Amino acid sequence: MDSETARRLFRAARVARLGTADPDGVPHVVPVTFAVVGDRVMTAVDHKPKRSADLRRLRNIRANPHVSLLVDHYEDDWTRLWWARADGSAWIAEEDREEALDALVSKYGQYAVRRPEGPVVIVEVTRWSGWRY
């Protein structure tokens, strides 16, 4: 799959899995809602219940900004399988926060009702890749 097709499939997906690693390389994967603007993937910590405000994904990004996001499509008809991945560097946004939130609100109606108030993560994608049957 070429990078443009991977980006197109990725952008249309409703949920991604965000993979981070701590300074020792211990992986951590969580599902996230997201929006794509150019070569940036944006996600935010929203109001859904969390165990703690000190989220492991945020600690990991501060310590090691290299991340991957994965979306996929599964069907029992395996000729329709595909996945797309965005690899890049992440940071917790200060300046671009409102642009990210606007993009999330336009993709998810739930955020129009209650805009995310938590930290915003932006990933500068350096590689789009994927596979399909």
Q: What digits encode the pLDDT tens for the residues 92-132?
A: 998 879 999 999 999 999 999 999 989 999 999 999 999 99
Assess contact for 42 and 104: CB atoms under 8 A: yes
129 part of a folded domain: no
Name the pLDDT band for 50 (thresholds 50, 70, 90). confident
Residue 67 domain boundaries: 3-124
26 part of a folded domain: yes
As a whole number of Å, the end-to-end CA separation of the chain is 10
18 part of a folded domain: yes
Q: Report the C-alpha gap between 105 and 113 in whole angstroms.
A: 9
CATH number, position 14: 2.30.110.10
pTM of the predicted protein model? 0.93
130 part of a folded domain: no
Mean pLDDT of 39-68: 90
**Total domains, the chain:** 1
**65: amino acid identity, one letter:** P
101 part of a folded domain: yes
Q: Give, in order, the Cα–Cα distances in Å from 41 to each of 1, 25, 74, 77.
A: 19, 22, 22, 30
131 part of a folded domain: no
- Residues 13-40 pLDDT 10s: 999 999 999 999 999 999 999 999 999 9
